[in-house]
Copies of this chain bind each other. A is one copy, B any other.
Amino acid sequence: MDSKIQKEIRDSFTAYLTEKKLRKTKERYAILEEICNFSEHFDIITLHQRLLTANFHVSKATLYNTVDVLTDAGIIVRHQVTTQLVQYELRRLADSHLHLICMKCSSVRELKNAHLKGLIHTLKTPRFTPVFHSLYIYGLCARCKNKQQKELNKRNK
């Protein structure tokens, strides 16, 4: 990630911690740093492994805590595609793309779309001040669609 943007994000985190009178610990900043290295979704377990690999020891409990704080701060966004695992993403990344979720294999693909933001801003939301959005489109990925088609062909032989 662009280091200028990363600094922006770090500064907004600092501002949030100050406003909420929360402590600025090295764990919190190290975790945010590592999160910025993901170019797409991540989950707690992967984040934990990456931090260990980077030789930074943090407990899972702290990760869960920090990720909650970052979510409250509006810096990351929570995605729950499967029952098993919560995924997160930098809100900055999430803003301009939508998520294509395969109903068969649960794979998630991100799709950038320049019009999306504009489209959604045309929606009227009375008595509600929108900040950001997430659009999930469920369906079949090319691979599963293919598989399904082959099965149908087989059956009709």
Contact = CB atoms under 8 A, between A and B. Distances in A.
Contacts of A81: 80
Given A74-B103, A83-B80, A136-B134, A145 B129 contact: yes
A101 to B, nearest CB: 9
| Copies of this chain per assembly | 2
A131 B138 contact: yes
Interface string A97-119: 01010110000010101011001
Contacts of A145: 129
A93 interface: no
A147 interface: no
A30 interface: no
B103 A127 contact: no
Interface of A: 71-72, 74, 77, 80-81, 83, 86, 98, 100, 102-103, 109, 111, 113, 115-116, 119-120, 122-125, 127-142, 145
> What are the 7 A-B residue pairs with the smallest beta carbon separation, nearest first?
A80-B80, A127-B142, A130-B139, A131-B139, A129-B140, A133-B137, A134-B136
